[in-house]
Amino acid sequence: MTGLLAAAFEAPYLDYAALAPEMVLTGVLLAVLVVDLFVDEGRKAVVAQLAGVGLLASLLPIVFLAVDGNDRSMFSGAYVVDDFALVLKALFLVSGYVVLLMSADHIEEGDYWKGEYTFLLLSSLLGMVVMCSSRDLLTIFVALELLSIPAYMLAGWRKRDLRSNEAALKYYLLGVLSSAVMLYGMSLVFGATGTTVLEDIARELGDNTSEPLVKLGIFFIVVGFAFKVSAVPFHFWAPDTYEGAPTPVTAFLSVASKAAGFVALLQLVFVGFFGQDNVWQPLFWVLAALTMTVGNLVALRQTNVVRLLAYSSVAQAGYMLVPFAVGGSGDAAARTAQTAAIVYLLIYAAMNLGAFAVVIAVARKTRSGEVSSYGGLFTYAPGLTVLMTVFLFSLAGIPPFGGWFAKLYIFKSAVDAGTGWSVALAVITGVNSVIALFYYASVAREMWMRPVPDEDVTPVRVPPALGAALAITALAVVAIGIYPQAFARLGDLAELAVR
Partner 1 sequence: MFDSWALTLVVFLPAVGAALLVAVPRRAENLMKLVALATTLATAAVGVAILARFDYGATDTLQFEVDRPWIDVINSRYHMGVDGISLPLLALSVLITVLCVVYSWDHFPEPHNPKAFLALMLVLETGMNGTFVGQDLILFFVFFELVLLPMYFMIGVWGGPNRQYAAIKFFLFTLFGSALMILAFLALYFKGGNTFDIPLLVERGGTIARDAQILIFGGLFMGFAIKVPMFPFHTWLPDAHTEAPTVGSVILAAVLLKLGTYGFIRIALPILPDAAQAWAPWIGGLAVVGIIYGALGCLAQKDLKRLIAFSSVAHMGFVMLGIATLTDYGINAAVFGMVAHGLITGMLFFIAGSIQERYGTREMSRLGGLLLQAPRLAWLLGFCAMASLGLPGLAGFWGEFPAILSAYQPAPGLSEALFRVYMVVAAVGTVFAAGYLLWMYQRTAFGTAKKEFAEAHVHDVHLPEWLAWAPLLLLILILGIFPSLIFRVTDGAVQSMTSALQAIGG
Pick out residues in 21-80 that bind partner 1 (CB under 8 A).
none
SS3 call for 136: strand
Taking the complex as a whole, the smallest distance from the CB of residue 376 to partner 1 amounts, in Å, to 10
Q: Work out which of 141, 280, 348, 393 binds partner 1, going by CB under 8 A.
A: 393
- Contact between 367 and 330 (Cβ < 8 Å): no
Write the single-letter amino acid at 1: M
SS3 call for 304: strand
Q: With b meaning 16 or more CB within 10 Å and e meaning fewer, what string describes 282-301?
A: ebbbebbbbbbbbbbebbee
Q: Is 402 in the site for partner 1 (CB under 8 A)?
A: no
Interface segment toward partner 1; rule CB under 8 A; list 38-46, 105-113, 127-135, 403-411: 403-411
Q: Is 485 in the site for partner 1 (CB under 8 A)?
A: yes
Task: Please tell me the distance from the alpha carbon of residue 238 to that of residue 234, in angstroms, as a whole number.
Answer: 9
Name the residue nearer to partner 1 (CB basis): 198 or 410.
Answer: 410
Q: Is 412 in the site for partner 1 (CB under 8 A)?
A: yes
Taking the complex as a whole, the smallest distance from the CB of residue 230 to partner 1 amounts, in Å, to 24
Q: Work out which of 56, 63, 213, 449 binds partner 1, going by CB under 8 A.
A: 449
Q: Is 478 in the site for partner 1 (CB under 8 A)?
A: no
Name the residue nearer to partner 1 (CB basis): 431 or 457.
Answer: 431
Q: Is 408 in the site for partner 1 (CB under 8 A)?
A: yes
Q: What's the Cα-to-Cα distance from 401 to each of 17, 351, 396, 398, 406, rounded to whole Å?
A: 37, 9, 9, 6, 10
Name the residue nearer to partner 1 (CB basis): 246 or 397.
Answer: 397
Taking the complex as a whole, the smallest distance from the CB of residue 386 to partner 1 amounts, in Å, to 9
Q: Work out which of 203, 301, 489, 499 binds partner 1, going by CB under 8 A.
A: 489
Q: Is 84 in the site for partner 1 (CB under 8 A)?
A: no
- Contact between 378 and 120 (Cβ < 8 Å): no
What Rg do the C-alpha atoms of the chain give, in angstroms? 22
Task: Please tell me the distance from the alpha carbon of residue 325 to that of residue 269, in angstroms, as a whole number.
Answer: 11
Instruction: Tell me the DSSP string of 45-113.
Output: HHHHHHHHHHHHHHHHHHHHHHHH---EEEGGGTEEESHHHHHHHHHHHHHHHHHHHHHHHHHHHTT--
Q: Is 433 in the site for partner 1 (CB under 8 A)?
A: yes
Taking the complex as a whole, the smallest distance from the CB of residue 288 to partner 1 amounts, in Å, to 16
Taking the complex as a whole, the smallest distance from the CB of residue 433 to partner 1 amounts, in Å, to 6
Name the residue nearer to partner 1 (CB basis): 17 or 435.
Answer: 435
Q: Which of 341, 357, 316, 347 is nearest to 97 (CA)?
A: 357
Q: Is 460 in the site for partner 1 (CB under 8 A)?
A: no
Burial environment of residue 41 by CB neighbours within 10 A (0 to 12, 13 to 18, 19 or more):
exposed
Bond from prior residue into 400 cis (ω within 30 degrees of 0): yes
Q: Work out which of 34, 60, 427, 457 binds partner 1, going by CB under 8 A.
A: 427
Interface segment toward partner 1; rule CB under 8 A; list 159-167, 192-200, 213-221, 489-497: 489-497
Q: Work out which of 152, 172, 284, 411 binds partner 1, going by CB under 8 A.
A: 411
Q: What's the Cα-to-Cα distance from 5 to each of 76, 143, 189, 438, rounded to whole Å?
A: 17, 25, 21, 60
Pick out residues in 332-391 that bind partner 1 (CB under 8 A).
339
SS3 call for 11: coil
Q: Work out which of 12, 27, 330, 418 binds partner 1, going by CB under 8 A.
A: 418
Q: Work out which of 140, 197, 426, 468 binds partner 1, going by CB under 8 A.
A: 426
Interface segment toward partner 1; rule CB under 8 A; list 60-68, 205-213, 297-305, 406-414: 406-414
- Which chain residues interact with partner 1 by CB under 8 A? 339, 393, 398-400, 404-405, 408-409, 411-412, 415-416, 418, 423, 426-427, 430-431, 433-434, 437-438, 441-442, 445, 448-449, 483-485, 488-489, 491-492
